[in-house]
């Protein structure tokens, strides 16, 4: 039986691999290999019938993956202690691998091994955290070319960004997809903390009309680029500034309230007054929060009720989700609530 590989453009590699995996024809026992300056050879079990590729070729010299990072490190002389200290998880964003190295001392060697495991990637970044109100990432190049600018594809949405300059949370993938599924065509949405378009883009691609606000000029630049990249510039209004100032400036009869407000920020509760004044009666607010396990779900739900009461409105919780672990004993959660009544 021939060993097959699909030829795909490098610029489309991530989304094509996702599609091949969904179709069930991606061969994860072999490595993705470079075919030429513009193309990768992506291993497949059979010729795809649902995923568009440029060609399918036979491989005379297929290169099989190692079983995992541990095996690869052991083959490179790592001791059991060094392997235990190596990262157990990482994220591939476009052609960049993001890793929290923790106590690992041989970071460059581990980075080189990760590049061998992920042939579609060319840079490894150590993640040190996010700081400040503009969510500035602290990263360090540990292996590869050092190119931190990339285009990440996810559920059909393309995100252009520089991972050394703007934040991207790989663990929020399911929530980004969810927001693209819950909106309806032509509904109006206020995205109060838009970033590079994490939620704005999937919602606009689904047909919603989104007002996206971002105060970080660098993130805003990518937000604008991504609106064009995803061909949704006619359905998004992009505003640079603090979302509270934007809400204050737009308040009034000439600016009708939104059907939905998205608050994708851990301290979103501090902005609930602005969210509620922006929301139409019967509209939905999606409030994100980092909540200690012991306070689920009392704290975020309580904050919603308190803010609504102060605005003369009422809330009905219609959904709640754990997005991912934020830190030990703390969860990144989202509470969805329908808001009734008028705030003025």
CA atoms of 261 and 118, how far apart (whole Å): 38
Alpha-helical segments (H) within 24-106: 69-75, 80-85
Question: What is the DSSP secondary-structure string of 213-276?
Answer: EE--HHHHHHHHHHHHHTT-TTSEEEEES-HHHHHHHH-STTSPPEEEEEE-STBGGGGHHHHH
- Check the annotation: does 103 bind a ligand: no
Continuous segment of H or E residues that includes residue 48: none
Q: In this structure, are residues 239 and 273 in contact, taking their beta carbons and an 8 Å threshold?
A: no
CA atoms 317, 323, 326, 330: torsion sign: positive
The candidate with the shortest Cα–Cα distance to 44, out of 15, 7, 95, 92, is 7
Q: Find tokens 């883009």 and name the residue.
A: 201
Tokens read off for 244 = 């509270």
CA atoms of 256 and 265, how far apart (whole Å): 24
- Check the annotation: does 74 bind a ligand: no
CA atoms 196, 199, 200, 202: torsion sign: positive
Tokens read off for 161 = 């960004």
CA atoms of 196 and 15, how far apart (whole Å): 18
Q: In this structure, are residues 175 and 203 in contact, taking their beta carbons and an 8 Å threshold?
A: no
CA atoms of 265 and 237, how far apart (whole Å): 20
Tokens read off for 233 = 């510039």
- Check the annotation: does 214 bind a ligand: yes
Query: Residue 292 CB: number of other CB atoms within 10 A?
Result: 12
Known binding positions: 169, 176, 214
Known binding positions for S-adenosyl-L-methionine: 169, 176, 214
């Amino acid at each position: 039986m021939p060993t097959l590989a699909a030829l795909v453009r490098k610029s489309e590699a991530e989304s094509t691999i996702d599609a091949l995996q969904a179709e069930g024809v991606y061969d994860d026992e072999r490595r993705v290999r470079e075919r030429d300056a513009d193309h990768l050879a992506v291993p497949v079990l059979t010729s795809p019938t649902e995923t568009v590729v440029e060609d399918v070729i036979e491989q005379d010299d297929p290169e099989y993956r190692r079983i995992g990072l541990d095996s690869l490190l052991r083959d490179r002389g790592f001791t059991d202690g060094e392997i235990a200290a190596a990262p157990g998880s990482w994220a591939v964003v476009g052609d960049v691998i993001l890793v929290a190295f923790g106590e690992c001392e041989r970071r460059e060697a581990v980075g080189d091994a990760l590049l061998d495991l992920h042939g579609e990637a060319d840079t490894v970044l150590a993640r040190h955290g996010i700081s400040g109100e503009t969510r500035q990432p602290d990263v360090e190049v540990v292996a590869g070319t050092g190119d931190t600018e990339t285009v990440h594809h996810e559920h059909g949405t393309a995100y252009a960004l520089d991972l050394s300059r703007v934040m991207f949370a790989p663990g929020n993938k399911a929530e980004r997809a969810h927001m693209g599924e819950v909106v309806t065509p032509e509904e109006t949405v206020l995205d109060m903390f838009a970033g590079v378009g994490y939620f704005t883009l999937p919602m606009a691609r689904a047909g919603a009309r989104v007002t996206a606000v971002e105060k970080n000029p660098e993130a805003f630049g990518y937000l604008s680029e991504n609106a064009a990249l995803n061909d949704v510039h006619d359905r998004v209004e992009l505003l640079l500034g603090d979302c509270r100032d934007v809400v204050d400036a737009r308040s009034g009869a000439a600016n009708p309230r939104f059907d939905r407000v998205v608050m994708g920020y851990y301290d979103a509760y501090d902005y609930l007054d602005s969210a509620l004044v922006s929301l139409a009666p019967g509209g939905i607010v999606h409030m994100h929060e980092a909540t200690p396990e012991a306070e689920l779900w009392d704290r975020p739900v309580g904050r919603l009720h308190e803010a609504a009461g102060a605005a003369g409105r009422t809330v009905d919780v219609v959904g709640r989700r754990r997005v991912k672990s934020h830190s030990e004993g703390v969860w990144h959660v989202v509470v969805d609530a329908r808001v009734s009544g008028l705030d003025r």
